[in-house]
Amino acid sequence: MVQVASHGEKKGAEDIAAAVDYLGRPPDKSKTGGWTAAWLILGVELAQKIMVLGISMNIVTYLVGVLNLPTAYSATIVTNCLGTMNLVSLLGGFLADVKLGRYLTIAISATISAVGMCLLTGATTIPSMKAPPCSSVQRQHHECIEASGKQVALLLVALYTIAVGAGGIKSSVSGFGSDQFDTTDPREEKKMVFFFNRFYFFVSTGSLFSVLVLVYVQDNIGRGWGFGIPAGIMLVSLAFLLYGKPLYRYKRPQGSPLTLIWKVLILAWKKRNLPIPSQPSFLNGYFEARIRHTEKLRFLDKAAFLNENSSKDGNKENTCMVSTVTQVEEVKMVIMLFPIWSTCIFFWTVYSQVSTFIIQQAKLMNRKVGSLDVPAGSLPAFVIITILLLTSLNEKLTVPLARKFTHNIHGLTSLQRIGIGLVCATVAMVVAAIAEKERRDNAVKNHTTISAFWLVPQLFLVGTGQAFAYVGQLEFFIREAPEGMKSMSTGLFLTAISMGYFVSSLLVSIVDKLSKKKWLKSNLNKGRLDYFYWLLAVLGVLNFILFIVLAMRHHYKVQHNIEPEDNVDKVLVIANEVKIGVDGKEEA
């Protein structure tokens, strides 16, 4: 049965009114938005992905092989930089929501990224910025001279400038892309269904280009070309973004969501001694609320409670003393994202190993395919190829098949996608531990090198997990957040990625210290990296159990239902009254 809720209709009308063209007028849907505008926006994300992957998948080999830095320290530099990039996305989302808007945030961030790439090109090509050459014999006996503080500093300035720019792009590009579709129009809703999958397929193509082409260029032609090409691509994508300005639909900045959140929390704390209102109708703005009142986190309702110090007249002197039901419910929606957010961190802790230790493993293995010596930094191509294949299969096979059982337009719910990703990440670490033990045993006992393709199964599992987890997490945080906080919620999703990298750095530091550098040595043959992978596998099991408990308690904000015999054009939105459990079925 197809259901439509009145609140959903009201919200849809508000969404249409909120969209404007570049002159601030109601947009002409025949000339603005849609996939034409979305592709121009995604072009910047493509450039950002090429830039970041072109750096992250091969910079650790430069840090170890050219600057002569220890492996553990090099891994920490990479993960901290990537973590910062995703953490900055929260600030970018804040600025987009408060003042700049998503379009201007993306344009400024793309410019910063291009400047950072130019700095990185200089840092890796100027001879005086490199450490003295080190032979394999010197490296084996730990006699290499490490790069000076000045040499490392310039590289770090370049990397963190890129991180700031990339974080700003990531915070707003998916939200700005989704703004190009009117979800109240069944035909545009049909296009919106596959936006996140196609978004990820598109950027994965850029990732594949990075690990296959750019890594080869960096290793065989020169770092100047290897980092100069992404800088040029970023400038071209920025030009196309600016060219498409008349084609976009814009959502005006709606003020600071963080200010609203703090206001509700502070008022609830100040009124903590007051009783919880017995009737929701006693709350300020109950009958005018855009979001239906819920019974969860009832203590926050005190922020909207009218007492002798606050009245219903809405005078300026009283508005700071009381919130509205809509504001309180929006804060509740944000808070309810954090339990799931905390369990998403682990996947990115596992993923961070792809650009650090797995690359170092590949350097010690046989990478020859016929006469071709595959660069170690190109091994992550198997992750991206897996993602490309699975995102295609998701649209053509998985989603249509799942729809028949769930009657959900997305087939699998966002939480189900996240759960699949977490399982794959945990299994990947088990496989990684087995492969590393085999590699080390052959190197130490038999003095032979096994094929680098022993790493393919774990890379396949990480890619499979990412195909589900990334799309699931991005969809979850954008759809489950209040409309006015879309950019900030994207930043919240990206902070989960950021925390994953920081947790990886923390674990590396702790393990390196507690094991007295026996597990994570610069020479992996003398360490026990497999023990580190087993540790991640155990943590993954514990994290998945916690995720299952939290996911079973979560209720989705909206659900998209279709009749089994109908086509997607008959999609209608069930608004906030409908709550869905983790299995995707409507609850009573």
pLDDT in tens, 110-127: 999 989 988 888 888 888
CB 587 within 8 A of CB 580: yes
Task: Considering the domain delimited by 31-253+337-369+377-574, tell me its CATH architecture.
Answer: Up-down Bundle (1.20)
DSSP-derived secondary structure for 8-66: HHHHHHHHHHHEE-TTSSPP-TTTSSHHHHHHHHHHHHHHHHHHHHHHHTTHHHHHHHT
Assess whether pLDDT exceeds 50 at residue 588: no
| Rounded-to-5 percentages of helix, strand, coil across the chain | 70, 5, 25
- Domain limits, the chain: 31-253+337-369+377-574, 257-332
For residue 134, give every residue at least 6 positions away whose Cβ sits within 8 Å of its Cβ, in sequence order, or none.
Answer: 68, 143, 144, 145
List alpha helices for 136-185, DSSP H: 136-140, 149-178
CA distances from 158 to 48, 125, 147, 161, 429 (A): 15, 13, 16, 5, 32
Q: How confident is the model at residue 423 (pLDDT cuts 50, 70, 90)?
A: very high
Q: Read off the pLDDT of residues 485-540 as tens digits, 9 standing for 90 and up.
A: 766 677 678 788 888 888 988 888 888 888 766 787 777 788 888 889 999 999 99
Q: What is the mean pLDDT of the chain?
A: 78
pLDDT of amino acid 558? 52
As a whole number of angstroms, the longest Cα–Cα distance in the chain is 83
Q: At what angle do helices 456-479 and 338-351 cross, to 10 degrees?
A: 160
CA distances from 90 to 171, 175, 241, 339, 475 (A): 7, 13, 22, 18, 17
C-alpha closest to that of 424 among 385, 378, 470, 379: 470
pTM for the full predicted model: 0.68
Environment class of 141 (CB within 10 Å of its CB; exposed 0-12, middle 13-18, buried 19+): exposed
For residue 563, give every residue at least 6 positions away whose Cβ sits within 8 Å of its Cβ, in sequence order, or none.
Answer: 1, 2, 407, 570
